Amino acid sequence: MAVEPLLFELSKPGRRGVTFPAADVPETPLPAGLARASLSWPEVSEIDVIRHFTRLSQKNHAIDVGFYPLGSCTMKYNPRVNEVTARMPGFAGIHPLQDDRTVQGALELMYELQEMLAEISGFAAVGIQPAAGAHGELSGVMVIRQYHIANGQHEQRRKFLVPDSAHGTNPATAVMAGYEVVTLPSDDRGNCDLEAVRAAVGPDVAGMMITNPNTLGFWDEHITEIVDLVHGCGGLVYNDGANFNAILGIVRPGDVGLDVMHFNLHKTFSTPHGGGGPGSGPIGVRAGLEEFLPGPRVRFADDHYELFTPAHSLGRVHGFHGNFGMMVRAYTYIRMHGAAGLRRVSEDAVLSANYLRTQLQDRYQIAVDRTCMHECVFSANRQKANGVKALDIAKRLLDFGVHPPTVYFPLVVPEALMMEPTETESKESLDYFIATMRQIADEAETNPELVQGAPYTTEFKRLDEAGANRKLNIVWKAPAEEIAAAAD
């Protein structure tokens, strides 16, 4: 396969994408400190740039290209109206260093987003600065830490309880916030084991991080008992809200007694993931914890919106105010749906997941046989008996234009295949996926080598994924001779 040139390799000295007419007004230098003295950009024409980025965009699967049932990630369609509002000059063209009085509309949007998320989730206050789910987790657990510091209990409370079905970011967050992680097992209905919680709570526990609905796709049947147990020992409960898409308008986590939760605007509220733009992971807190939220936050004071930092704030967790463009998109999404529409989102997401569950259960082993919420988890154990692993099935799906489900997570399910169809897929696309999965199950029986050798139709075959993670290399460096030539 030919390796295409990088943009820097196309660079020719003096080549330009856009040429401006000579200025007919005096030139004004940029304010000191705003521009770097030297920065080597590739010198390329406009069409070079367009072709380069268009080619890159075609190498990846995307929600705009096909079905994307990546469990736990809520890869729903990103409505284009979000993009229209985010590009409005009054939002896109402002600068975070502008005087607050000149950006009242933007502050109003941030304020209303805080209020709407609080209303949807049942929390007293929402801080919208964190830039991702994991970042929200860290900010939220730091809120809990601030709370214990304020109560003079920080020194004695060293432990955080985390169920074994948790996303890897949960234990990582607890450790980053300075805690010792105590892992709790799941029970055979896919809940966190209640007896294990009972045995683990004590005066040394700062709190618990629970994901509800959890990563097996279930509402924890003991959530109120768990909350009571943790509160009973003086700890607080953090809810990983990545799976909020299952319960919008149906149950509010704040009403269940959970103390802190993050939202993934790039999951539940349809802002793009990853390469589509930065994320946003606001956190909600129950009454009494507002003063620990990161700052600055937005409030309405008499006749204008203003930024303020709460009294015992854990501090700033992001430059300026967070990823504002994502706030505009999420705000748009919420306004476009309204309360009834958001409830419908969750009802349809849960319906889609249960449709997959019932249509595939005769061919793939279900992890836990229970009506699921927004996602369903299978195991490729049956196929593995023929030498076909979850990874092989994932790769084979690529040949059918489908993004693989999440594999090997949650860790408690061997050969896990975790599917989250979301509410934005038609019945036809769900049926196509079901038919494809059933065909792959047939292939695994009759022609396992075919599945083991997939994918066949993608530009790249199997990549060294472990190597790519462990030896991450995302920086392009010019060969030494080019650097020398440029310096001449």
Ligand X SMILES: *Cc1c(COP(=O)(O)O)cnc(C)c1O
Give me the residue label for tokens 């792959």.
440
Does 322 bind ligand X (CB under 6 A)? Our answer is no
Distance CA 91, CA 88 (A): 5
Comparing CB distances to ligand X, the nearer of 11 and 211 is 211
Q: How far is the CB of 411 from ligand X (least distance, A)?
A: 12
Among 133, 140, 272, 322, binds ligand X (CB under 6 A): 133
Q: How far is the CB of 171 from ligand X (least distance, A)?
A: 11
Q: Could you tell me whether strands 260-262 and 283-285 are parallel, antiparallel, or unpaired per DSSP bridges?
A: antiparallel
For ligand X, the nearest residue by Cβ is 133
Does 132 bind ligand X (CB under 6 A)? Our answer is yes
Among 215, 268, 270, 271, binds ligand X (CB under 6 A): 215
Answer yes or no: are the C-beta atoms of 402 and 431 closer than 8 Å: no
Comparing CB distances to ligand X, the nearer of 72 and 313 is 72
Q: How far is the CB of 119 from ligand X (least distance, A)?
A: 22
Q: Where are the alpha helices (DSSP H) in 186-323?
A: 194-200, 223-232
8 membership: H or E segment, kind and range: helix 7-10
Both tokens of 149, joined, read: 């510091």
Give me the residue label for tokens 């569950």.
357
Q: How far is the CB of 410 from ligand X (least distance, A)?
A: 9
Q: How far is the CB of 265 from ligand X (least distance, A)?
A: 9
Distance CA 211, CA 157 (A): 21
Helix 169-176 vs helix 133-150: angle between axes, to the nearest 10 degrees?
40
Q: Could you tell me whether strands 125-127 and 365-366 are parallel, antiparallel, or unpaired per DSSP bridges?
A: unpaired
Does 134 bind ligand X (CB under 6 A)? Our answer is yes
- Piece in contact with ligand X (CB under 6 A), picked from 51-59, 131-139, 191-199, 431-439: 131-139
Comparing CB distances to ligand X, the nearer of 279 and 295 is 279
Give me the residue label for tokens 């830490």.
145
- Piece in contact with ligand X (CB under 6 A), picked from 80-88, 132-140, 144-152, 386-394: 132-140
Among 73, 128, 298, 327, binds ligand X (CB under 6 A): 73
Cα torsion through 330, 335, 337, 339, rounded to 10: 110
Does 271 bind ligand X (CB under 6 A)? Our answer is no
Q: Could you tell me whether strands 376-379 and 365-366 are parallel, antiparallel, or unpaired per DSSP bridges?
A: antiparallel
Distance CA 359, CA 23 (A): 66
Kindly state the number of chain residues that form the binding site for ligand X, as judged by CB under 6 A: 14
- Piece in contact with ligand X (CB under 6 A), picked from 128-136, 191-199, 292-300, 319-327: 128-136
Measured CA to CA in angstroms, residue 49 lies from 12, 14, 56, 274 at distances of 13, 15, 11, 21
| Binding to ligand X, residues 140-199 (CB under 6 A) | 167, 169
Phi-psi region of 483 (alpha: psi -120 to 50; beta: other; left: phi over 0): alpha
Comparing CB distances to ligand X, the nearer of 211 and 383 is 211
Q: How far is the CB of 396 from ligand X (least distance, A)?
A: 24
- Piece in contact with ligand X (CB under 6 A), picked from 31-39, 129-137, 227-235, 346-354: 129-137
Q: How far is the CB of 375 from ligand X (least distance, A)?
A: 10
Comparing CB distances to ligand X, the nearer of 243 and 352 is 243
Does 242 bind ligand X (CB under 6 A)? Our answer is yes
Does 247 bind ligand X (CB under 6 A)? Our answer is no
CA angle 155, 161, 164 (to 5 degrees): 150
Does 211 bind ligand X (CB under 6 A)? Our answer is yes
Q: What is the DSSP letter of 462?
A: -
- Piece in contact with ligand X (CB under 6 A), picked from 112-120, 130-138, 250-258, 366-374: 130-138
Q: How far is the CB of 318 from ligand X (least distance, A)?
A: 13
Q: How far is the CB of 132 from ligand X (least distance, A)?
A: 4
Q: Which residues of 172-198 are buried (b: 16+ CB within 10 A; e: fewer)?
A: bbbeebebebbebebeeebbbbbebbe
Among 279, 284, 294, 404, binds ligand X (CB under 6 A): 279
- Count H helices, E strands: the chain? 16, 13
The Cβ-side half-sphere exposure at 74, using a 13 Å CA radius, reads 30
- List contacts with ligand X (CB under 6 A): 72-73, 132-134, 167, 169, 211, 215, 240, 242, 264, 279, 281
